[in-house]
Amino acid sequence: MARSASALRGQILESALRLFAVHGFRGTSLQDIASDAGCSKASLLYHFAGKEAILTELLTPARDAVATLLGRVAGLEGGRLVEETVTGYVDLALRYRREIQLLFEHIAEMSCHEDLGVMELADGLLDALAGRSRQAPARVAAWMVLGAVFITSASDEEVAPDEVLRAEMIRSALRTLDHTLS
């Protein structure tokens, strides 16, 4: 039976996001997604141009959110820049846990593949976390915060409730960057 509008579309995206996050992009077949979403594989390819299109649609909101964050901190500098970037990044990482997990995995899998500026966004985030500094210590610490927040928010083990996790991640990240909340 034909469901109303794109009810199935949302279900497909949800199933794909969950399965991609658990088994990875390559480790999840279109049949897996179809079975989970309760439809046929052919239905997937009616709603989406292909497997890559599903991935793109899943990653777009998170990517746009990061781009928005970068735009918001573009005019800042010094302490405010670092604080806003860290809190913004932690918030995004927690809100888009699985999407960011996917994004990093996707970078590892398809390194040479162009992804509409994913690497540029990571570079921008790195720059802001480093407080626009080009010095090695700041750059290394920024890299570490980038990975730390990612891994911690993506880990499914419940080390702490989200509010506690958020607060501690922000505090730890600022310590890593040798910066204390003003």
Partner DNA sequence: GTCAGTTCTGACCGATCGGACAGCTACGGT
Partner DNA sequence: ACCGTAGCTGTCCGATCGGTCAGAACTGAC
- Give the residues lining the site for a second copy (CB under 8 A): 22-24, 26-27, 101, 105, 108-111, 136-137, 139-141, 143-152, 155, 159-160, 164-165, 168-169, 171-173, 175-176, 178
Angstrom distance (rounded) from CA 100 to CA 2: 33
Q: Per CB under 7 A, which of residues 41..100 are in contact with DNA?
A: 41-43, 45-47, 50-52
> CB-wise, 39 or 59, nearer to a second copy?
59
Q: Which stretch in 33-41, 106-114, 127-135, 163-171 sits in contact with DNA by CB under 7 A? A: 33-41
Residue 180 site contact among DNA, a second copy, none (CB < 5 to 8 Å, cut-off depends on kind): none
Nearer to a second copy, 10 or 27 (CB): 27
- Out of 40, 68, 135, 155, point to the residue binding DNA (CB under 7 A): 40
